[in-house]
A and B are shown apart, each in its own frame.
Chain A
């Protein structure tokens, strides 16, 4: 629809017309703010914890475990230089005392959701699948944060009450 609108705008005399073809679906999936009745506050990305630890491929598990524990977390995401999620170190992997690199024990390709995912549907999914959290990534696969089920349920309750 936007290509037709942009073409029409030009035909009625607007000189500098651009067409953001990917539209608001792309905007929201990148974790950028949306306004409106069902804007960002009703989406998963707004309620994700953004301080979840990350590490790079090749990192030593023992060192990563210390960093994760010191930060008060029990999970860590393995990302590349652009922040794209490659894997996840679950609690059990972090407990390992093996002298290995993180890629030896990470869970590759964890399931993720987009920041624009509707909170209500996300909570329903977490309950149905008995998930305690879900990583939130942009459409480029970059880590935005970790949505905890407790946080999501509390946010949803506040939204429904307001």
Chain B
């Protein structure tokens, strides 16, 4: 089960584990604003793009806008 984390953990996992930040919102919302160094893999395209754009051996941090 994925582990819920807060922003401090995001920063730590990025710095210490090289975690990959993934915004799962549609491209226009990613273009509007996104976390530094994040890549965009929209939820609807996760099956296709996830394995191509993300490294399986590294941690992955998924996020969207808020608790929606």
Contacts and interface: CB of A to CB of B under 8 A. Distances in A.
B13 A23 contact: no
A22 B35 contact: no
Interface string A1-43: 1111111111011111111111111111010111111110000
A18 B9 contact: yes
Given A22-B7, A26-B7, A35 B33 contact: yes
Contact of A26 (B19, B31, B66): B66
| Chain A contact surface mostly | mixed
Interface string B4-28: 1111011001000101001111000
Interface residues of A, number: 36
A24 B34 contact: yes
Contacts of B19: 18
Interface in A144-162: none
Nearest to B2: A6
B7 A32 contact: yes
Contact of B63 (A9, A10, A15, A24): A24
A5 to B, nearest CB: 4
B56 A22 contact: no
A17 B51 contact: no
Interface of A: 1-10, 12-28, 30, 32-39
Given A20-B7, A27-B10, 20 more contacts: A2-B63, A5-B41, A5-B46, A12-B50, A14-B54, A14-B56, A15-B56, A16-B59, A16-B60, A17-B59, A17-B62, A18-B59, A20-B6, A20-B62, A22-B7, A23-B64, A23-B66, A23-B67, A24-B63, A36-B30
